[in-house]
């Protein structure tokens, strides 16, 4: 008991030290928040204020011109917004199913092809087939061009995520639980769904968050596999980039445009409004993943 008390003495934090540590983390949190706040303020600023004063937390005048400009593109942006939501949800679910099942199979020591498939998914992490080869397979062999699957399948499964899940299952899921379930007559699919997944929520939530970011921010797949004739398939990020390029074109060539054409486009504030539109939905996913991450930490144990 004395040794335990002595050990706690060295791990205890003094009140003054605790205050300084809390103040430090509050300061670091504010530093992370300030750029996001600046983007939000600039998006609601007037274009004249940006031209005269530059980016500022206290603009000369507030305006909704940037959001009004984007609202006039409702048919284009609204469709892209729904596309991105659908692609992100379906792609994340597909990615989690493929990653978790592959990782669980590779974590089982009695799986005969374990070594072969481990090398099979590990080699692409070191040597990629390249863009041309992947394009030929996806567009010409699998016929995914101008389909939603072209925006989902190429990035739904990552070798890196499979290795992470395999390592997590090996180090976290006790073999005693799986063996006990087998003795009780449970099949492997039931063991995986009802026993392994509930105690693996931290890893699943982490991989799910990475996949959500990847799908929501992806626009390269649309550039590669979606042609201009299939504009209804464009995701939000691709549409926002196209709008930003059009605004930049109008701004650079304003002297050649009809009077008032380029000046009516709030170029600087629209860019920040695009950032707000693209960031808010993905920011709303944080509480969902965090809830399962925290709850998953306390689920599952080997009971004697």
What is the CB neighbour count within 10 angstroms for residue 29?
10
Q: Which residue has the tokens 């397979």?
A: 137
Find the mean pLDDT for residues 203-229.
87
Question: pLDDT tens digits for 238-259?
Answer: 888 877 777 666 666 655 555 4
Q: What is the pTM of this model?
A: 0.77
Which pair of tokens denotes residue 214?
């990847």
Question: pLDDT tens digits for 137-177?
Answer: 888 888 888 899 999 998 888 888 888 888 888 888 888 88
Mean pLDDT, the chain, integer: 79
Cα dihedral 106, 109, 113, 116 sign: positive
Asked whether residue 94 carries a pLDDT value surpassing 90, the answer given is yes
The span from the CA of 104 to the CA of 195, in Å, is 12
Residues paired with residue 62 on neighbouring β-strands, in sequence order: 45
**Who wins on pLDDT, 277 or 31?**
31
Q: How far is CA 74 from the centre of its chain?
A: 24
Domains and CATH numbers, the chain: 66-296 (1.10.3720.10)
């Amino acid at each position: 008991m004395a040794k335990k008390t002595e050990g706690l003495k060295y791990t205890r934090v003094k009140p003054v030290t605790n205050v300084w540590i809390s103040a430090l983390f509050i300061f670091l949190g504010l530093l992370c928040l300030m750029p996001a706040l600046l983007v939000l303020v600039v998006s609601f600023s007037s274009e004249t204020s940006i031209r005269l004063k530059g980016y500022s937390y206290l603009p000369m005048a507030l305006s909704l011109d940037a959001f009004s400009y984007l609202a006039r593109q409702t048919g284009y942006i609204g469709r892209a917004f729904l596309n991105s939501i659908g692609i992100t949800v379906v792609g994340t679910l597909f990615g989690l199913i493929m990653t978790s099942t592959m990782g669980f199979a590779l974590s089982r020591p009695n799986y005969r092809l374990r070594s072969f498939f481990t090398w099979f998914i590990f080699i692409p992490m070191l040597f990629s087939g390249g863009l041309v080869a992947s394009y030929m397979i996806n567009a010409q062999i699998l016929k995914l061009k101008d389909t939603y699957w072209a925006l989902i399948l190429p990035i739904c499964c990552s070798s890196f995520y499979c290795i992470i899940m395999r390592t997590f299952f090996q180090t976290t899921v006790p073999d005693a639980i799986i063996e006990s379930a087998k003795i009780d007559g449970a099949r492997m699919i039931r063991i995986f769904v009802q026993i392994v997944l509930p105690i693996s929520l931290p890893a699943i939530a982490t991989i799910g968050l990475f996949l959500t970011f990847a799908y929501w921010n992806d626009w390269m797949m649309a550039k590669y596999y979606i042609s201009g004739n299939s504009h209804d398939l464009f995701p939000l990020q691709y549409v926002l980039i196209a709008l930003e390029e059009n605004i930049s074109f109008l701004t650079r060539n304003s002297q050649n445009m009809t009077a008032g054409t380029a000046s009516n486009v709030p170029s600087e504030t629209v860019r920040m409004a695009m950032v707000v539109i693209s960031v808010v939905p993905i920011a709303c996913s944080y509480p969902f993943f965090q809830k399962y991450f925290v709850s998953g930490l306390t689920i599952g144990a080997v009971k004697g």
